Structure 1
């Protein structure tokens, strides 16, 4: 996050806190980006500036109803529209849940493209998978996006934290997960530097 919004994310929730709000929902949701990789690895490996979850875009009203007393702002194109209207939300991908009493942001809701119960990748709409194939759960039952897809999204910008996340997660991936990620990168980002590491093999350290 960049100023002036970064400080307002200091009080963002943990995955367990947002999971408590969404307990019992039938909406297929999952923790995304950095926190998702930590849930996969079984521990928090670095500080997180915010918490992001992904949901099917059309089911946003059901998620919104789970947060009475909070408001959603629409974020996109370098702007944040507070108390966003339905049209403003529909025009964006990210919606930030804000506590109106403090002004703090708690969770960033990614409204993902989908076709019913089939998830559609924003980077390549020909990549389509059932939600039950892209969502995993940790020991506490918290849903998170499978690491192959998290790293696919992180591969585009390959910021310092993205590289660190890749390096730290790679030893935990099974051979099948490595193969899947390599195939996705070849399809979406041909020639990506991570392909060398993925094809290099290596021992999985977590069984």
Structure 2
């Protein structure tokens, strides 16, 4: 059921930084079953650990997105904001999107609003198979920017699996960053 995620868990074994499955797969890992088809797979890492990817990406083509266009990544180049994603392609056709996350001291920082933070010590969720995944409340906050049909589906699927603390953090974050978001109606009651 989570074959792609298990493959990545094994592939990332040699990576010495912190990492998490992100996006829709993180939602499904939290629920414990695949709820929909996924077009891609994303891994969140901390920006400061981007050089730790170099051994993993040996032999892979990598690009970063600049103004919504792919630019070849010279792996010696340090990727600074506003660049937040690396797309890596293996010779066998595997594609992985790495999401560069910010942090300051012991707190993750939302790249779109640095006032929204999260304690890194609470970013330790793992599936039954031991696959690390990004906290679903953080995933949903990212999905709130351009809420697509699949994002609405993810929110509906995971809502009953969120504890009160997760719902409260998401509610407060949305109130600060997306104060008119449709998910707030459900989170307020």
TM score, norm. by length of structure 2: 0.88
Q: CA deviation at 1:193?
A: 1.3
1:145 equivalent in alignment to 2:134: yes
Matched, 1:50 2:40: yes
In 2: Cα distance, 1:22 partner to 1:88 partner: 21
2:87 matches 1:96: yes
Size of the aligned set, in residue pairs, is 186
- Mapped to 1, the partners of 2:174 and 2:80 lie a distance apart of 29
Q: Is the Cα contact below 8 Å between 2:54 and 2:75 reproduced in 1?
A: no
List alignment gaps of at least 5 residues for structure 2: none
Task: Name 2:70's counterpart in structure 1.
Answer: 80
Say whether the 8 Å CA contact 1:74–1:84 is kept in structure 2.
no
Provide the rounded CA distance (Å) in 1 between the counterparts of 2:163 and 2:107: 24
Distance 1:145 1:135 in 2: 8
Displacement over 6 Å in runs of 4+? none
Q: Which moved more, 1:61-70 or 1:83-92?
A: 83-92
Provide the residue aligned with 1:160 in structure 2.
149
CA distance in 1, matches of 2:163, 2:19: 24
Structure 1: tracts of 5 or more residues without a match: 1-12, 201-207
Q: Closer, same or farther in 2 for the Cα pair 1:179/1:128, shift >3 Å? A: closer
What does residue 24 of structure 2 align with?
A: 34
**How much does 1:61 deviate?**
1.2
RMSD over aligned CA atoms reads 2.0
Task: Say which is worse superposed, 144-153 or 179-188, in terms of deviation.
Answer: 179-188
2: CA distance, partners of 1:96 / 1:56 = 15
Residues 84-93 or 186-195, more deviating: 84-93
Name the residue aligned to 2:97.
Answer: 108
Whole-angstrom CA distance in 2 between matches of 1:15 and 1:163: 22
